[in-house]
């Protein structure tokens, strides 16, 4: 049985949290205030979680809610979808709200609880006390009541309350945060997980894996420690944290990550983890390392170097910024680059990853309609709420943002004979915004780019800033072929298959040949086919998803084929004129005959010199 010492006083805002009913997926939580608002204390739960730009209305998962003060019930009135107001209570009387949170969202963004483990983000479980979010708070995180779960342990980067002993064996106990922002920026995992640790630059890095797995932990530690060391060196020591936690939920099929100030919550497929005796590196493992690298880079870029729009976070509504191409795009550029520069992957692997990013951007016509500035601004209603028309309407501020970072890096390097680069820009952002906490205003990146380029070559600053603005707020494709050529790298666009194109993307795993997406102006769309249609036959022969490509391979572009398809339950017939194979696959190769300047620039870019 776990008890907390009675001599330690809770903070003015004090929470308790218990994984009370794992079978019903319910956390029981209380919030106690020493000095509630005499006019009637308000409480609210965030509508979104920083890092995931979508209104999720976490308060919908609060199942029961009650309040008491001095042993008497206090009436709570709901004011809107996530705000409650308590009736006023006499001065000097503590007000306590108790509630249950339904936790059955297996993602990195919310909360999950069953008899195998518990996970939560503070934004899903801790009610904020209006007017008191700047106050220090304490939270007692208690172990499960069920004796069968007595061996659960806890993992989090929340600071332990120094005045209160923590159960060393399980780590359950009292934690402390300077304010509400800090409280909700340290997710918590509990259960029977496996642990590993490594030290880099004086920072303790811990890995916690929940779920069944056969991960080669020493291998993972070895690879991650290189990536972390490289990133810390990029921004300079000391690192912004003294402790960092990678917490991963291992599942059969899943992928995702969310950044926090001293940790990241990850979701990964079991098969993407390295196993003992694995030779080389699987594609899945490379992608998992890229995910870890991405979230770790956010420790600087977005958790500390923040858009002004996030200073402070406003949890009840959308926080609009046109800069996600910097905070997600630049992070996406550096996630794979860090794998290369830290020696975890080789140049060929890196160029293949870069090729994938280029292909992703160029395969959607949405890039010709939406700028990355607009995509950032509309993340809440578009990028995070994609439907079947997404490739025709949306550009990814991750993928195109990464290409803008690449193009900017190459331009800065080429214009300064390698003395100035995107690394320089990141370090200045860290000095001016990360260390000071001053948010990055919407136009600040352009000014900074102008300043850097001007230093390298007088007169170049304004030009480069103007170019960057046009790339960010326009829809023109980036001049990557030309830029890469200057670095001794050839970029060619190829077709993934020699089969004529229908201009569609098929749904996976459906068993039937269902159209997931129909590309604007493609053969299928011109013929009247639509996303959701299920193809039945091509020229009178039954179609299966595995054989569609083989059937099309025997046709030529311009040829007409007869397609039968179901739209809902109605059989329809379409005459489709086939297109030439789409050349969306980017292939990057090192040019053998590159001149000395190109070779020097290339070496600097790929090795980080």
- Where would I find the beta strands (DSSP E) of 103-136? 111-113, 117-120, 128-129
Instruction: Establish how many alpha carbons lie within 13 A of residue 600's alpha carbon, considering only the half-sphere containing its beta carbon.
Output: 9
Residue 243 burial class via C-beta count within 10 angstroms: exposed 0-12, middle 13-18, buried 19 and up: middle
**Smallest distance from the beta carbon of 51 to Zn ion, in angstroms?**
7
In DSSP notation, 14-31 reads EEEEEEEEGGGTEEEEEE
And the tokens for 248?
């991963």
Q: Which is nearer to Zn ion, 396 or 501 (CB)?
A: 396
Query: Closest distance between Zn ion and the C-beta of residue 298, in Å?
Result: 6
State in angstroms the smallest separation of the CB of 331 from Zn ion.
5
What is the full DSSP assignment across 374-386? HHHHTTTTTGGG-
Binding residues for Zn ion (CB under 5 A):
328
Q: To the nearest whole angstrom, how small is the minimum distance from the Cβ of residue 526 to Zn ion?
A: 37
Inter-axis angle of helices 444-456 and 399-415, nearest 10 = 20
Spatial separation of the C-alpha atoms in residues 320 and 318, rounded to whole Å: 6
477/320 Cα distance (integer angstroms): 25
Measured from the CB of residue 56, what is the shortest distance to Zn ion in angstroms? Answer: 17
- CA dist 233 and 228 (Å) reads 9
Q: Nearest Cα to 221, choosing from 240, 208, 235?
A: 208
Give the nearest residue (CB) to Zn ion. Answer: 328
Q: Least distance from C-beta 472 to Zn ion, angstroms?
A: 18
Contact 246/264 with Cβ under 8 angstroms? Answer: yes
Residues contacting residue 411 through CB under 8 Å, at least 6 positions apart: 464, 467, 483
Closest distance of CB 372 from Zn ion, Å: 14
In sequence order, what are the residues at sequence separation of 6 or more whose Cβ sits closer than 8 angstroms to the Cβ of residue 599? 488
Q: How far is the CB of 334 from Zn ion (least distance, A)?
A: 11
Give the residue with the Cβ less far from Zn ion, 48 or 126: 48
Nearest to Zn ion of 298, 519 (CB atom) = 298
CB neighbours of residue 586 within 10 Å: 23
Nearer to Zn ion, 132 or 264 (CB): 264
Contact 562, 536 (CB under 8 A): no
Of 328 and 409, CB closest to Zn ion: 328
Q: Please state, in angstroms and rounded to a whole number, the distance separating the CA atoms of residues 328 and 364.
A: 19
Q: Which is nearer to Zn ion, 51 or 415 (CB)?
A: 51
At its nearest, how many Å lie between Zn ion and the CB of residue 67? Answer: 38
Residue that the structure tokens 């870069």 belong to: 354
Show the tokens assigned to 368. 């010709």
Q: Report the residue number, 185 or 328, with the smaller CB distance to Zn ion.
A: 328
CB 398 within 8 A of CB 372: no
Q: CB 365 → Zn ion: shortest distance, Å?
A: 25
- Whether 107 contacts 65, CB under 8 Å: no
Quote the DSSP letter at residue 58. Answer: G
């Amino acid at each position: 049985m776990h008890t907390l010492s009675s001599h330690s006083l809770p903070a003015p805002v004090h929470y308790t949290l218990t994984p009370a009913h794992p079978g019903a997926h319910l956390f029981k939580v209380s919030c106690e205030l020493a000095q509630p608002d005499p006019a009637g204390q308000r409480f609210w739960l965030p509508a979104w979680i920083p890092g995931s730009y979508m209104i999720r209305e976490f308060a919908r998962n609060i199942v029961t809610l009650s309040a008491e003060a001095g042993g008497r019930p206090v009436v709570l009135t709901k004011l809107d979808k996530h705000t409650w107001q308590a009736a006023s209570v006499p001065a000097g009387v503590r007000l306590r709200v108790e509630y249950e949170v339904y936790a059955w969202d297996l993602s990195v963004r919310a909360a999950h609880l069953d008899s195998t483990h518990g996970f939560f983000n503070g934004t899903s479980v801790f009610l904020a006390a209006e007017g008191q979010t700047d106050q220090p708070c304490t939270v007692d995180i208690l172990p499960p009541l069920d004796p069968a779960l007595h061996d659960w342990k806890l993992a989090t980067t929340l600071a332990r309350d120094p005045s209160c002993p923590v159960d060393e064996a399980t780590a359950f106990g009292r934690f402390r945060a300077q304010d509400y922002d800090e409280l909700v920026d340290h997710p918590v995992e509990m259960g029977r997980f496996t642990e590993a640790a490594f030290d880099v630059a004086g920072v303790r890095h811990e890995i916690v894996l929940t779920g069944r797995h056969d991960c080669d932990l020493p291998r993972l530690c070895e690879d991650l420690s290189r990536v972390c060391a490289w990133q810390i060196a990029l921004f300079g020591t000391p690192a912004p944290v003294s402790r960092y936690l990678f917490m991963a939920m291992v599942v059969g099929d899943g992928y995702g990550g969310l950044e926090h100030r001293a940790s990241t919550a990850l979701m990964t497929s079991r098969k993407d983890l390295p196993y003992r005796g694995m030779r080389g590196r699987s594609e899945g493992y490379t992608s998992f390392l890229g995910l870890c690298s991405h979230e770790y880079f956010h420790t600087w870029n977005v958790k500390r170097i923040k858009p002004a729009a996030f200073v402070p976070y406003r949890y009840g509504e959308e926080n609009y910024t046109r800069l996600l191409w910097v905070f997600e795009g630049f992070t996406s550029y550096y996630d794979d680059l860090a794998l290369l520069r830290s020696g975890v992957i080789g140049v060929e692997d890196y160029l293949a990853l870069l090729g994938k990013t280029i292909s992703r951007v160029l395969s959607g016509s949405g890039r010709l309609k939406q700028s990355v500035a607009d995509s950032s601004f509309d993340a809440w209603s578009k990028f995070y709420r994609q439907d079947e028309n997404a490739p025709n309407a949306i550009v990814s501020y991750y993928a195109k943002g990464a290409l803008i970072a690449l193009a900017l890096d190459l331009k800065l390097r080429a214009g300064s004979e390698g003395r100035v680069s995107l690394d320089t820009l990141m370090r200045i952002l860290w000095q001016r915004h990360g260390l000071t906490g001053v948010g990055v205003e919407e136009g600040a990146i352009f000014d900074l780019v102008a300043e850097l380029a001007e230093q390298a070559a007088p007169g170049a600053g304004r030009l480069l800033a103007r170019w960057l603005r046009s790339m960010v707020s326009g829809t023109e494709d980036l001049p990557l072929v030309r830029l890469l050529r200057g670095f001794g790298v050839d970029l060619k666009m190829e077709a993934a298959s020699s089969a004529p194109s229908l201009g569609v993307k098929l749904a996976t795993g459906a068993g039937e040949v269902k159209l997931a997406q129909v590309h604007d102006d493609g053969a299928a769309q011109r013929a009247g086919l639509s996303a959701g249609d299920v193809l039945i036959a091509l020229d009178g022969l039954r179609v299966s998803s595995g054989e569609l490509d083989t059937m099309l391979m025997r046709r030529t572009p311009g040829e007409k084929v007869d397609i039968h398809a179901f739209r809902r339950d109605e059989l329809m017939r379409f005459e489709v004129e086939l297109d030439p194979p789409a050349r969306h696959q980017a292939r990057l190769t090192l040019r053998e005959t590159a001149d000395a300047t190109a070779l020097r620039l290339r070496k600097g870019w790929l090795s980080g010199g």
